[in-house]
Amino acid sequence: MRDHSDPLETDRQFFLCLIDADLEALNRLLTDDFLLIDVISGSEIGKRALFSAMESGQLRFTAIELLEAKVRRHHSTAIVTGRTQLSGRFGDSQFDAHSRYTHVYIEQHGHWRLIAAQGTKVLE
């Protein structure tokens, strides 16, 4: 796992962890109270539910292309906004989405950790 002193690098690592289903590395990146607002359904998904879905194979990301990302820093908080093209599978259903996202990172002990993520599907 790389040093997480740069929020944009940490954001790239987050997407790599999703593709690789690397729960150990993902655990270090996410706060215990991490909350995801799902890009497909708009559901709230906590860290435990995300890990359970990935560990069981119910959720699998097959591709995530990071199209753009920029960061705004405010003291010990970083807000990363960007665009992705992603695909994967949830249960028996395939999904593809072009999305805009907002990730909120907090700095803890010199490392950026993701506390909240919101994805919005972009209609083409």
pTM equals: 0.91
pLDDT digits 0-9 by tens, 23-69: 999 999 999 999 999 888 889 999 999 999 999 999 999 999 999 99
Q: Is the pLDDT of residue 1 over 60?
A: no
How far apart, in whole angstroms, are the C-alpha atoms of residue 15 and residue 92? 22
Could you tell me which residues come within 8 angstroms of residue 20 by beta carbon, excluding any fewer than 6 positions away?
none
Question: Is 38 in a helix, a strand, or coil?
Answer: coil
Question: Is 124 in a helix, a strand, or coil?
Answer: coil
pLDDT digits 0-9 by tens, 78-97: 999 999 999 999 999 999 98
Supply the pLDDT for residue 3: 46
At position 4, the amino acid (one-letter code) is H
Enumerate the H helices of 21-98 as residue ranges.
23-29, 47-56
Residue range 7-121 in CATH 3.10.450.50: yes
Supply the pLDDT for residue 42: 86
Q: What are 5's two structure tokens?
A: 């002193």
Radius of gyration of the CA atoms of the chain, in A: 14
Question: Is 19 in a helix, a strand, or coil?
Answer: helix
